Amino acid sequence: MAEETAGNGAAAEATQGAQFAVQRIYLKDVSFESPNAPQIFADPGSPQLQLNMGQTVNKVGEDLFDVQLTVTLTCKIEDRNVYLVEVKQAGLFLAKGFEERALDYVLATQCPAIIFPYARQVVSDLIQSGGFAPFYIQPLNFDALYQEQLRRRAQGQQGEIDLTANVGNA
């Protein structure tokens, strides 16, 4: 297709001759708590889920970047915790020869998109291993989140993009 969006077109031009490779995908930290088990299994209430996500990028070598995606899922019935899951899924990426803007784009969109399915699976497996029905986090559009981040930067707003979502009933 000859037409490209402005953001992707600039990134594509700046990436000619660039190298990108996944060096390693790894689980950095994981936690599962069900403080009110086994009594909570008999609670007829309607579970409410709260999903929080965050991303960090650290340069660990000349062209080597550690990208970490943190997923926290809290399930409650009224004010009682059913379970709490926290997963820190990470990846080590080689990104060489990128112009600064293109590198920012790759680290903020492509890397978390690669890591996300691993984190999603770990979260689901932990919940199921805890005796609950698995919960599958819906796919995320990291490109749209990045565009929102650029918009906020242009307006001089500080802080991270809020990936918090109330995902409703389990």
Per-residue pLDDT tens over the stretch 116-167: 999 999 999 999 999 998 888 999 899 998 888 888 878 876 555 545 544 5
The domains found in the chain, sorted by start residue, are 18-133 (3.10.420.10)
**Cβ atoms of 20 and 110 closer than 8 Å:** yes
pLDDT in tens, 90-123: 999 999 999 999 999 999 999 999 999 999 999 9
Please answer whether residues 146 and 105 qualify as being in contact, where contact means their C-beta atoms are separated by less than 8 angstroms. yes
Q: What is the value of pTM for the model shown?
A: 0.81
How many Å apart are CA 5 and CA 89, to the nearest integer?
30
